[in-house]
Chain A
Amino acid sequence: MIREVVLVRNKLGLHARAAARLVGLTSKFSSEIHISREGRSEAIDCKSILGILMLAASQGTRLVLSINGRDEVEASRTVQAFFDAGFGEEN
């Protein structure tokens, strides 16, 4: 199991389009992927767009990922890169 902290970098936050892309990304992996706000206990299924939007993660929010499964390393790398790239958006 991998735990890591990611940062929402882009201006719009983890909004609908980014959330949709995150779900698309994580759904490709067989690992269970959960996400929560740093310091909060409730973990959200990272393959659920309704859950992700509920995080209401705006720019600067720190999120904790926990990934558990056969392809967890690959999944972790992909998700981390997605956050680092500011969801591939301009800001």
Chain B
Amino acid sequence: MTGPKSEILFHGCGVASGITLGTAVKLDSHQRVELKTSLVPDQLESEVNRFRAAVEASRRQMAELKVSLEEKVGKEHAFVIDAHILMLEDRSLLAEIEGIIRSECANSEWAVRKAAATIQQAYQSLEDEYFRERASDIEYVVERILINLAGSEPFDWDHLAGDLVIVAHDFSPSSFAAVDLERIRGLALESGGRSSHSAIIARSLCLPSVMQIPDFVHFVSTGDAILVNGDEGEVVVNPREERVAECRARIEESGMRALPGPGGAALPAATRDGATVSLRANTELPHEVRVATACGAEGIGLFRSEFLFFAHSTGFPSSEDQYLTYRMLVEAMAPHPVAIRTLDTGAEQIWTGSDLSGCANPSMGLRGIRLSLRTRDLFRAQVEAILRAAQFGSVEMIFPMVSTVEEIWRAKEVVREVGRSLSARDGAAVDVSIGAMIEVPAAVLMLESIAREVDVLCVGTNDLTQYLMAVDRDNPEVANLFQPLHPSIVQCLQRIAEVSNTLGRPARICGEISANPLVAVLLVGMGFRQLSMNPRSMAIIRKTVSSIRVDAAERLAERILRLSTTQEIVECMVAEVSRILPLDLGQYVREITNPVLGDGSATGFTPGRRVHA
């Protein structure tokens, strides 16, 4: 065993602000916790036997696999399994693993992973590509042993003390459902990125998070002390005492700042010249409604209902389950409205395993309202749940990914049908407002026709940017083109604001950009009067709105609409807004400049550096 572990500093992309000091929980590719438990000497023999039994079970399964493979593809190709079986029988490997169990009093899972990691590392240093690739065979064999070791015991989070930080290569939105959210205080991932779905959830849960940390997971073990600095994009494993002390002080300081001011009462924000701007919360998880009310939200501007579906890893939530959740939200926010977006599975699908998955370009595929209109029973169940919840307060039903007027007609027809059968059944007449997400460029171009069909327009700036710029925001090769302040987006937003005002249909910005004070000034200048955002950002945006005058914001918007590059727009915003806004904008300036003008670190262009301190 090594002595006191030395501090290791990693750099990645900070995607959710704040600082966390906690204990690492390392998850493997199946979201299983990699944990070392300490055994007492008496337990070692039975642990070794448990390991041997898992190896034997794995060997048996592979022998069966070999037989079936031989039948299917012929003996010639089944030899791969021979190599795998021999790896399972490899006495140097078995001796190494049993040695770790005995010398470290460790559980088998830990020993298997540790031994495998050492060997895989050795393989990965080989020059010959063929032999280097054999590391993946070892992975396969180890995976098989771990499956057999897993049995049926779920992980008991009480094994670990204090605040926990998830450390993993990847952490999909559905994984949030699998962990104990009350204990998790941060994320540190190798994959992901600022606009990834997990980053959005992390922000809405206020989990300090750093993503895109290259070559990182390998250096962390469950139980390690870990510091996540989402502001600076830094992660420190086994931080030095001085660093811990410094960090504690900063956490305390920022904790005081982050405390929601209004103490529960919804506060309208008004500009210095009296225009009111309604600030609403984007939420993902039902229990975020507490944060939303604490931050003074005037309603939920966008409830992303996907999480309910992610949380049900087997099958879909029943209409009744959904109803109870929606009703809780509606009652908690009343009298303020709750906008419930119907199921919008995006590029990060929950459909894996179903017939609907597997297309090469999911964000252009069957998703949002397209999917709902195709899976009518699922859609009806959700519509019914929303309509029933609407009896308890004010509800907007928002259809995502609308690209044609006919889609709205058909969706509204379903709402009418379900409404009729509900009132026939319960005798209750229900009324909801209908809204459309404006995120497909087609919808912007024919906004008048769409606006006449709905009560409210919700602008999804992330997706709009992605579709307008034809850029996959999670593809690091092109992520620098994901520019939410590109002139084309700005023109679209201006058009949306104009149509909204002309036709008297409120338009609400629901993208992450409305949480940035610089952008908020621009949006107010364009004429938007509803901004929906991560509730923790409301305090700064409320302050922003109350510090400006509409005419000054309008002048800024006019000027910006004449510019032809993102860089010019950003520079103009920074220059003008810092003149009219008496706030420290450093962090927000970085937010909008990094991806465009800077070194690209926010988009994952610069490989992170690792520094051994």
Which residues of A are interface residues toward B (Cβ below 8 A)?
A: 13, 15-17, 19-20, 23-24, 45, 47-51, 53-54, 56, 58
Contacts and interface: CB of A to CB of B under 8 A. Distances in A.
24 contacts: A13-B128, A15-B130, A15-B131, A16-B79, A16-B134, A16-B137, A17-B79, A17-B83, A20-B83, A24-B86, A45-B91, A45-B92, A48-B91, A49-B86, A50-B87, A50-B90, A50-B119, A50-B138, A51-B90, A53-B123, A53-B131, A53-B134, A54-B122, A56-B127
Nearest to A48: B92
A49 B83 contact: yes
Contacts of A45: 91-92
A17 B83 CA distance: 7
A49 B90 CA distance: 7
Given A17-B79, A17-B82, A20-B82, A56 B92 contact: no
B82 A50 contact: no
Contact of A56 (B93, B119, B126): B126
A75 B131 CA distance: 26
A56 B82 contact: no
Nearest to A54: B122
B125 to A, nearest CB: 10
A41 B79 CA distance: 31
The 10 A-B pairs of least Cβ separation, nearest first, read A56-B131, A49-B86, A16-B83, A48-B92, A20-B82, A17-B79, A20-B83, A56-B128, A56-B126, A48-B90
Nearest to A49: B86
Q: Which of B86, B90, B122, B130 has the most CB of A within 10 A?
A: B86
Contacts of B93: 48, 50
B80 interface: yes
A50 B137 CA distance: 10
A58 B130 CA distance: 10
A54 B87 CA distance: 12
A20 to B, nearest CB: 4
Q: Which of A24, A45, A48, A51 has the most CB of B within 10 A?
A: A48
A23 B132 CA distance: 19
Q: Which of A16, A20, A50, A53 has the most CB of B within 10 A?
A: A50
A35 to B, nearest CB: 13
Nearest to B127: A56
Q: Tell me whether chain B's interface is mostly helix, strand or loop, or mixed.
A: helix
B282 to A, nearest CB: 50
B133 to A, nearest CB: 10
Interface string B82-108: 110011001111000000000000000
Contacts of A56: 126-128, 131-132
Contacts of B122: 54
Contacts of A51: 90, 92
Contacts of A17: 79, 82-83
Contacts of B134: 16, 53
A56 B127 CA distance: 8
A58 B128 contact: yes
Contacts of A15: 130-131
A39 B451 CA distance: 79
A47 B127 CA distance: 23
Nearest to A50: B90
Contacts of B138: 50
Contacts of A24: 82, 86
A50 B92 contact: yes
A3 B128 CA distance: 27
Given A24-B82, A24-B86, A56-B132, 8 more contacts: A15-B130, A20-B82, A45-B91, A49-B87, A54-B122, A54-B123, A54-B131, A56-B127
A58 B131 CA distance: 9
A90 to B, nearest CB: 13
A53 B122 CA distance: 11
A71 B148 CA distance: 37
A48 B92 CA distance: 7
Nearest to B119: A50
Contact of A23 (B80, B86, B119, B137): B86
A23 B87 CA distance: 10
Nearest to A17: B79
A53 B133 CA distance: 10
Contacts of B130: 13, 15
Nearest to B80: A16
Interface string B116-146: 0001001100111011101001100000000
Contacts of A49: 83, 86-87, 90
A45 B80 CA distance: 21
A48 B138 CA distance: 13
Contacts of B127: 56
B87 to A, nearest CB: 6
Nearest to B138: A50
Contacts of B92: 45, 48, 50-51
B40 to A, nearest CB: 31
Contacts of B87: 49-50
Contacts of B79: 16-17, 20
Contacts of A48: 90-93
A15 B129 CA distance: 11
A84 B91 CA distance: 27
Contacts of B128: 13, 56, 58
Contacts of A13: 128, 130
A47 B95 CA distance: 13
Nearest to B135: A53
A53 to B, nearest CB: 5
A47 B126 contact: no
A54 B133 CA distance: 11
B137 A54 contact: no
Contacts of A50: 87, 90, 92-93, 119, 138
A48 to B, nearest CB: 4
B251 to A, nearest CB: 45
B123 A20 contact: no
Contacts of A53: 123, 131, 134
A50 to B, nearest CB: 5
Nearest to A56: B131
